[in-house]
Amino acid sequence: MLYTNLNHIESAAEFARIINENEHVMLICGRMGPICIPVYRIAEELEEKYSHVKFYDMEYDNPESYFFHALPEVRDLMEIPFTVYYKNGEVVKATAGIQTKTQITAILDKEFSVTINA
């Protein structure tokens, strides 16, 4: 169990439903370790600012995360957490390891920008 304030994904079926029902999804797959925890905390901070993005986590060691480990975008990455950004069900960006708030917001702004009609 990941002890974060993010929404948790516990099964591959739940994951499939989430990315099909939401246009913008950020999913962090990791453990409760010193490299992963800062990424979870940053995502928790950003949830309110990026209300058009759904933020989730999934436990790296959960047998149900098999689909995540097989993604071509993370297959060769060597560090956790894996952070994958989905737009309309497709991977648009993937990162591994610790990320700063500046790095994460740059990805969110680029991949999930919202155009406001005046």
In CATH, what number is assigned to the domain containing residue 20?
3.40.30.10
Q: Is residue 105 part of a domain?
A: yes
Q: Is residue 68 part of a domain?
A: yes
Rounded to two decimals, the pTM is: 0.92
Q: Is residue 117 part of a domain?
A: no
Q: What pLDDT shows up at residue 75?
A: 82
Angle at 52 between CA 22 and CA 113, to 5 degrees: 105
Write the pLDDT tens digit of every residue in 11-30.
Answer: 999 999 999 999 999 999 99
Write the pLDDT tens digit of every residue in 65-104.
Answer: 988 888 888 888 889 999 999 999 999 999 999 999 999 9
Count other Cβ atoms within 10 Å, centred on residue 97. 15
Instruction: Domain count for the chain, please give it.
Output: 1
Q: Is residue 101 part of a domain?
A: yes
Sequence-ordered list of residues with C-beta below 8 angstroms from that of 71, at least 6 positions apart, any chain: 84, 91, 94
Distance from C-alpha of 63 to C-alpha of 24, rounded to nearest angstrom: 25
Q: What pLDDT shows up at residue 67?
A: 85
Q: What pLDDT shows up at residue 115?
A: 58
Q: Is residue 118 part of a domain?
A: no
Residue 80: give the domain boundaries.
7-111
Q: Is residue 65 part of a domain?
A: yes
Q: Is residue 1 part of a domain?
A: no
